[in-house]
Structure formats: structure tokens, C-alpha cells
Amino acid sequence: MNAVEQVQQTIKEALQQAILKARLTDTEGMPAIQLETPRDKVNGDYATNIAMQLTKLAKKPPRAIAQEILDNLETAGTVIEKIEIAGPGFMNISIRKDYLTEVVIAVLEQGADYGRSKAGGYVKIQVEFVSANPTGDLHLGHARGASVGDSLSNVLDFAGYDVSREYYINDAGKQINNLAYSIEARYKQALGIDAEMPEDGYHGQDIINIAQAQEKEFGDALLQKNEEERFAHFRSYGLQIELGKLQQDLADFRVNFDEWFSETSLYENGKIDVALNKLRTNGHVFVEDGATWFRSTTFGDDKDRVLIKNDGTFTYLTPDIAYHGDKIARGFEKLINIWGADHHGYIPRMKAAIQALGNPEDMLEVSVIQMVQLYKDGEKMKMSKRTGKAVTMRELVEEVGLDAVRYFFAMRSGDSHMDFDLDLAVSQSNENPVYYAQYAHARISSILRAAQEQGFTASDEHLVLLQAEKEIDVLKKMGDFPQVVAEAAKHRSPHRVATYIQELATTFHSFYNAEKVLDPTNEDMTRARIALITAVRTTIANALRLIGVSAPEKM
């Protein structure tokens, strides 16, 4: 517990004591006391709506309850400087100014860990995201999914969850066969043979490149192999290349996974049968029209789903159920899947499967990431000019820059349909929001460099001097960070961190314009302010790190 949390804890305990003393409820009925930071600072440093929450229990109007709490509250000698009733029954609390500066000490002590908390209780949680088929390049939508998934994972980790990031490789189904056939066709074409692409083939440039590389390496030698061998070769080779490319693209996007889980391994380890048997044992499977079905309607799906087709092969659902069964068997208490909006119709059957395997429905959470629309020159732009295909993640990063892409996706809630303004993201000017936060970090770095040259050092001995309005604003905003992270984790909304970064940068810039940090005529104040801005820089860097954006010392 850092210094700020201790202050909050002290206030909560004092309120609880007062409530008990006033006999408004007993220990059993005591609601959790929420301290929020009021929007408007005339309403104090903290506010609580506890009096409103107690209306039902105490059967009195909120303001009367608030008054009774006040009458029984011991404030002498505590951090509470002032407490008053406001509006419909809020209790606004001002704390002694010398306690506000505790946050600076907390940040300087915790450094890169400032903002970390135990809010998540170390629940074992798995986040599965991207999971694009290894049959081509990642595109725009994957970039958003990767950004949101990675940011969410970072936030969960920081908020005290035990997080694992996982990518599910669809390396077993029909699409991989199509990949192999597509490479084969391109290979033949590279040899000058008239070959037709398969009906559901992949027409991307990457496939042509792979085939041409094969032609260079083997000439026509692969034609000598029998069809089965050649197919197996293209299949495994294509998979290796495509997967390697995915991994590289994601690493370059600052997204790293703990586990790359192969669909094929489910077949090899017999896990599909394990899952099917469990569904059968639990009575959720039936046979009809020559197919084997999962009675998902038992769990609210709008129709039952085929598991084994009448040709004896599995539908895509079957290994997916086995996969989720395996996740649970590995001990995860919570599964979060991040899916594109085009898969959202799949949620009810997957949730049904989770339940059919004997688990609570809410064990699986699916975050749906809505579509991204690129705009350039005010016009909708779906296709890449270069390739005529959907814009790839790599192209987007090349054009816009990694930080801007990560920031733009991190800014938005995943469930909002998003318009990505390419001109704004590309612009290297004050119009671009990513620079705003980075600029604050660079600016502080610059001041600290100057401080060092002039022989100033930080000191936490004179923090009490930080009394100016803008300084108080910065202190309070900085103190909010751990709670912001915890809330972002709880609501699975990493974009709240981006919103926070914006706010913290604003309070800093505003402070900067109002007060001079380096002042040779006031060394104590200077040293206190250096401590303050050092803490701000750490907080901004930590927050930027959570959303995968760099914190530059110079720009």
C-alpha cells in the first residue's frame, strides 16, 4: 500500500467508525465506501456518496444521514481538514495539503511500478487475441485487436491479475489446405505452367513471393514428387513462413504472446475426443441427419450446432470447444477472447460450450472489437493503393508510425465503430494527439537535463512548498493513476488509460506555463518541483508503456 492508498484507507475507516457510531447500519450491512475524485475541485479532494447509498438501510433522507455521519466523525488530528455535505447528499472531503504531496514520495519510491496494485487479486486470467489464420498478412482490423488485446493485458497485469497472452494458430483446417494449394498453383505459374488458383485460394502477393522463393530454391524438382508429398511440403513450408511473418509483425507492433497455441496439437493430443466425450457424458450431444450435433439451444443459443459433419470431419466449432476446454484444464479462472465484430454471432455457441463443459457462463468473456474505417482526405478508404487489397497492419505502421497507430487504437473503446483519420495520425503537428502526451514527457526530460547542468537535484524534503493551484492539480491527478488502472482492468477498458494520459499531460502543461521549475533564487522550491516533475514523468512513462507507446526523452 503506498502513501496515497494509506490516506484513502484512513478516511474510509474514519467514515465507517462514524457510521457505526451513528447506528446507521451494523458491520454486516456496511457498504464498501467509495472515494471518488470530484470533477470540480471546489468539491474537495475526495467525495463519497455513502450517505445516498445508506438511504435504503437507514430509511432516512441522504442529507440527514450525511449529517449524522458528520456528527459522529472524529476529524481532529487526522488527514481530514474539512468535510461538508453538498448537493443531494455527497460528502466532500478536503485533506490536509501536506498529505497531498505523499504521492510524490510514492511515485519516486515505486518508479516503474507506480500504478501497480493488487486490485485483481491475482486471478488467473487468459487473454486470447488476434488469432488470425496464418494464411496472409495481418490487416487493419487485426491491428486494432492486437493493440486493444495487448493494452488490456498490460493493464490487467498492472492491476494485479495473473495474465497470460495467447494466440490460437488455426493450423489444422481447410484454410491451411487452401494455403498449400495456393502456393502450389503459384509455384507452377512461376515455372511458366498454366495453373489455376483454387476456388477459395489466397491471392495475396505474399503467396506469390513464397512460391517464387520455392521456384528459386528447388527449380522444378518439386514437380517430381508425388502429389501427396508435394502438398505436405507446401503445407508445412507455407505455414512456417506465414507464421514467422505474423510473429515478426506482431513483435514489431510491440505485441508479445506467452503462448502460441497450435490447433493441430489438439488433434495430436487427443483433446478433441476429450471434449467431445465430456459433452456426450453431460448429455449435450445428439445425432441427426447423419451429423453429430451440440444442443447449444439448452444454453440460449438460437439454434443447435453441428460438431461432426455427415462426411465425418469436424466443423470449426469442435476444435474450438476442445481448445477452450483445454484452457480451463490449464487452470485459468477467467478467459477473455478478443474477437472482430464479424465473429460476434459466434459468442452464444461458445458460451454454451463453456457451460456444457460444466463451467459458469461468465467464465468466458468476449470483447468484440468493432470495425475500423480508414479515412484519408476526408474520404473513406478501404483498399490499399499499393496492392488493391485491404490495408495491412505493416503498411499502416509504415505510413503512420508505430506510436501513433498504437495510440490511436488505444484511445478508443473497442466497442465503438471507429473512423481512423489517416491525415491526423500522420501529421507531425500539434493536431496529432499522440504527440501531446509524448511532448509532456520530452519536455520534462528537457527540464531535468537543464537541472542537472545547473547542479540542481530533486529533494522530497521541501514538498510542503508545493501549494500552488496548478501543483495541487498535478498532485491529485497523479494520485489517481493506480485507481484508473484498476478501473480500466475491471471494466476491460484499456482506453481509459489513454484518456488518463491526456488528462495528466494537460495538468502538467498547465502547471508548466504557470510556474517556473528551475529558479536559482529559490533552491528549496526548485528541488521540490524537480521531485514533482520527475514523478510526473515516471507516471506518464508508466501509463504510455501500458498502451504500447514509447516515452521519448527528446522529440
> 508, 537, 518, 511: which is closest to 456 by C-alpha?
518
Residue ranges with strand state E in 467-537: none
Backbone angles phi, psi at 337, to 5 degrees: -110, 135
Residue 273 CB partners (closer than 8 Å, separation 6+): none
> 440, 443, 476, 461: which is closest to 526 by C-alpha?
461
Quick one: cell of 378?
Answer: 476526408
Beta-bridge partner residues of 305: 294
What are the distances in angstroms from CA 340 to CA 172, 346, 375, 451, 515? 21, 11, 20, 48, 47
Return d(Cα 494, Cα 485) in angstroms, integer.
8
Residue 181 CB partners (closer than 8 Å, separation 6+): 198, 201, 231, 234
> 165, 319, 124: which is closest to 247 by C-alpha?
165
Shortest approach of RNA to residue 241 CB, angstroms?
19
Neighbours of 227 (CB within 10 A): 8
Contact 255, 146 (CB under 8 A): yes
CB closer to RNA out of 226 and 513? 513
CB closer to RNA out of 62 and 204? 62
- How many angstroms from the chain centroid is the CA of residue 28? 36
DSSP per residue, 308-334: E-TTSPBPTHHHHHHHHHHHHHTT-SE
Contact 57, 41 (CB under 8 A): no
CB closer to RNA out of 30 and 190? 30
CB closer to RNA out of 267 and 439? 439
Shortest approach of RNA to residue 222 CB, angstroms?
26
CB closer to RNA out of 36 and 524? 36
Shortest approach of RNA to residue 424 CB, angstroms?
6
Length of the chain as a residue count: 555
Shortest approach of RNA to residue 412 CB, angstroms?
4
Shortest approach of RNA to residue 555 CB, angstroms?
4
CB closer to RNA out of 44 and 238? 44
CB closer to RNA out of 110 and 264? 264
Helical (H) or strand (E) element with 421 = strand 418-421
CB closer to RNA out of 214 and 493? 493
Shortest approach of RNA to residue 447 CB, angstroms?
4
Shortest approach of RNA to residue 290 CB, angstroms?
6
Sign of the dihedral through C-alpha 283, 287, 293, 295 = negative
Shortest approach of RNA to residue 518 CB, angstroms?
4
Shortest approach of RNA to residue 101 CB, angstroms?
19
Shortest approach of RNA to residue 218 CB, angstroms?
29
Return d(Cα 464, Cα 529) in angstroms, integer.
11
CB closer to RNA out of 99 and 339? 339
Mark out the alpha helices in 357-468 (DSSP H runs): 393-400, 402-411, 422-426, 433-453
CB closer to RNA out of 43 and 392? 43
What are the distances in angstroms from CA 102 to CA 75, 96, 416? 19, 11, 38
CB closer to RNA out of 41 and 280? 41
Shortest approach of RNA to residue 219 CB, angstroms?
33
Grouping H, G, I as helix, E, B as strand and the rest as coil, residue 430 is: coil
Cα dihedral 92, 97, 102, 107 in deg (nearest 10): 80
CB closer to RNA out of 332 and 512? 512
